[in-house]
Copies of this chain bind each other. A is one copy, B any other.
Amino acid sequence: MNKTRLCVMISALVLSTLAFAQDSVKPDDAIEYRQGLMTVIGWNFGPLGAMVKGKRSFDATEFARHAERIAAISDSVIEGFPKGSDKGSSERTAAKADIWNHWDDFQAKANDFHTQARLLADIAKANDEAKNKEQFKKVAETCKACHDKYKQKM
């Protein structure tokens, strides 16, 4: 690929993704991002839950792989909730406006998720099914704690 084409391509990529520059995020972009993030987390959470509940046979490598992915993106929840993103122009959101009235608590809950998700990925390296199960439940509790308070039923 010649230099000019590469520059044009990178510019296009940057322009299309600058929409997501966290210091000037449009509400619709933040909503789209956080919904995408939750979808990816859920996609990886599914196999873990299936193994924990015995709906799928335990596979230590698979468990660790999905747990690591969740951990890697678990600290990026909070950036999807900039001020003003309680409403979008074209995107609907399940986020309650209360988030921004209780920002410290919301941030603490987001941090809890990150902490427990990171622990799950670390524990999963030891291939101990019982310990994975115990820690999985702790992660699930952090999801529930935040969703119960700050997510509306759509």
Contacts and interface: CB of A to CB of B under 8 A. Distances in A.
Contacts of A53: 10-11, 14
Interface residues of A, number: 45
Nearest to A33: B43
Interface of A: 1, 6, 9-11, 13-14, 16-22, 32-33, 35-40, 42-47, 49-50, 52-53, 55-56, 68-69, 71-73, 76, 137, 140-141, 143-144
A55 B6 contact: no
A42 B55 CA distance: 34
Contact of A20 (B9, B20, B22, B46): B46
Contact of A10 (B1, B37, B47, B49): B49
